[in-house]
A and B are shown apart, each in its own frame.
Chain A
Amino acid sequence: MRNKINIYLIEYAINSLLRQKYKSFFITTVLTLIIFILTSVFFITNSIKYELQSTVDTLPEIVVQKIKAGRHSDIDVSVADDILEIAGVNSTVSRVWGYYYFENLGVNFSIVGIEKYEEQYKNSFENVAKTLDFSTNSMIVGEGVKKSMKKIYYNEYFNFIKPDGKLKKIMISGVFKGDTELESNDMIVMSKENVREIFDIEDSKATDIVVKVSNIDEIQTVASKIKLMFPDSRVITKDDLKISYQNIFDYKSGVFLALFIITLFTFFIIIYDKVSGLSSEEKKEIGILKAIGWRVNDILKEKFYEGFIISIFSYLFGVLLSLAFVYIFKAPLLQNIFTGYSELKTSFELPFVFDIQTLSIVFFLSVPIYIAATIIPSWKSATLEADEVIR
């Protein structure tokens, strides 16, 4: 009892695995591959969730949009002042933003207008933009936008086509840092006046109104008050956004779910195959071992070591590979599911999140199940009489 781990049994297990070289190799490869795919999928989804959650709290508490004939329509700037009178509302900002479809490349740029020379913007620009020169006719663009503009030789400026067909030349004064690429890739930020000119939005109109509420508990009340004041408005709270995030995530992970089910299914087929019976050679081996005096206990221990060696090796190797695949090589094939067919693809650099939960889920889905699949059929044979098994 002194030495619980029997080295000789381990050696026997290794020898047994080496005797069936091809079978062991095949099982290890398949198991590694399944663990690799499973962990990669979990890693990507986790990182995206983390990315969303880390930025969701900075979003405005309430966004008010005007709905006209079932469609989003420009809202009056004066609405912002009316909303400001509601008790509990901290501040309101009327925003001007939209999508500029650039036909030459078939891409949509997201253009956001901000107030010029506002101190808060200057501070945040220092954090997010590489260079900064916020003059009247300038803009700061995302890296994806910069690249697409470069493709058609717009290196220093870009000519926006206004709704009346005239051109509006705007200088590129900065590029957003690569760190924010997942968010800023298609983004263009410029002064509100320029955005109004490009989209032909009157001074009295805005795209939507952002409402800041200091007390989180009051958000719902304020939202319902706004809805009562302006029945034609759509009020989107931060909670709605969070739910919507979940929806986007579910939408995108539908493909992953399919992948996940297929992988699990394959895995269980392998296990079923193992459980449904040992090969005659393996049975014979167990019979001989029993005949030369091995106890059931020893045989099961040896089989446990066999299963343990294969599954642990596959698990560690699979996790190692998927970490490198997702975070170092940026998930070459899997990322296409997320990035779609767009011209403005992000470089897909996901934040690394060490998630012990993911690793344990995959561990418990693979290692114990595989070990059980090795032990159970051996136990069936080992409990029979030696001569019966050999025959």
Chain B
Amino acid sequence: MINKKSRVLFYTFLLLVGAVIAEITYLGSKSGSERINSKVAFVKMVGLPDLAISTEASYVRHRSMSDMFSIFKDDGSLREYFVSTFTYSHSRIINKKSLNEK
């Protein structure tokens, strides 16, 4: 004799387990091998490593192909990155002066 509350609890757990399994099957069916194949084909063609998860600058994008701090050699117009440059900002007056002199 299973009492009512235990039964409700049992069904709740059953429902949760069912939902988790259904979700996993759904997600599993969505990611096919075709996706991986096209990724592999793409990486093979381009030959560049790293994911484009951070694409803000090249040294992050293809980090493994460059030095840790190669931001300075890549492009002069890249924005400042290091935390210290935000904390200790250079004097803008000095910069202006040097521009005027030019």
Q: Which residues of A contact B (CB under 8 A)?
A: 7-8, 10-11, 14-15, 48, 51-52, 54-56, 58-60, 63, 65, 71-72, 95, 97, 99, 101, 103, 106-108, 110, 112, 114, 121, 124-125, 127-128, 142, 144, 176-177, 179-187, 189, 208, 210, 236, 240-241, 244-245, 247-248, 252, 309, 312-313, 316-317, 319-320, 323-324, 327-328, 338-346, 348, 351-352, 354
Contacts and interface: CB of A to CB of B under 8 A. Distances in A.
A149 B100 CA distance: 35
A237 to B, nearest CB: 11
Contacts, number: 193
A23 B41 CA distance: 54
A28 B9 CA distance: 15
Given A51-B39, A63-B65, A144-B52, 17 more contacts: A14-B5, A15-B5, A48-B51, A99-B58, A108-B57, A108-B58, A124-B45, A128-B45, A142-B52, A180-B42, A184-B46, A320-B19, A320-B23, A327-B27, A340-B55, A341-B56, A352-B30
B87 interface: no
B102 interface: no
A14 B39 contact: no
Contacts of B42: 124, 127-128, 176, 180, 183-184
B37 to A, nearest CB: 7
A391 B5 CA distance: 32
Nearest to B73: A71
Given A103-B77, A125-B45, A55 B64 contact: no
Given A14-B6, A107-B55, A187-B46, A351 B65 contact: no
A15 B9 CA distance: 11
Contacts of B66: 72
- Most-contacted residue by chain A among B19, B50, B51 (CB, 10 A): B51
B69 to A, nearest CB: 11
Contacts of B70: 71-72
Contact of A182 (B13, B19, B53, B58): B53
Contacts of A180: 38-39, 42
Nearest to B68: A247
Contact of B49 (A103, A128, A245, A348): A245
Contacts of B56: 108, 340-343
B50 A248 contact: yes
15 contacts: A7-B2, A7-B6, A48-B53, A58-B43, A72-B66, A110-B48, A179-B35, A189-B46, A244-B64, A313-B12, A316-B17, A338-B53, A344-B52, A352-B27, A354-B24
Nearest to A345: B55
Contact of A320 (B20, B39, B58): B20
A107 B60 CA distance: 13
A183 B51 contact: yes
B5 A320 contact: no
A124 B3 contact: no
Contact of B55 (A186, A240, A247, A316): A186
Nearest to A60: B47
Nearest to A71: B73
Contacts of A346: 51-53, 55
Nearest to B62: A110
B36 interface: yes
B55 A344 contact: yes
Nearest to B29: A352
B53 A101 contact: no
A136 B59 CA distance: 30
Given A14-B5, A128-B38, A320 B49 contact: no
Sorted nearest first, the 3 A-B pairs with minimum C-beta distance are A244-B64, A342-B56, A316-B16
Contact of A7 (B1, B12, B75): B1
B82 to A, nearest CB: 14
A339 to B, nearest CB: 6
B83 interface: no
Given A110-B61, A127-B41, A182 B47 contact: no
A354 B25 CA distance: 10
Nearest to A317: B16
Nearest to B37: A127
Contacts of A345: 55
- Most-contacted residue by chain A among B1, B17, B35, B54 (CB, 10 A): B54
Contacts of B47: 59-60, 95, 112, 210
A175 to B, nearest CB: 12
Given A55-B43, A180-B39, A185-B52, A313 B6 contact: no
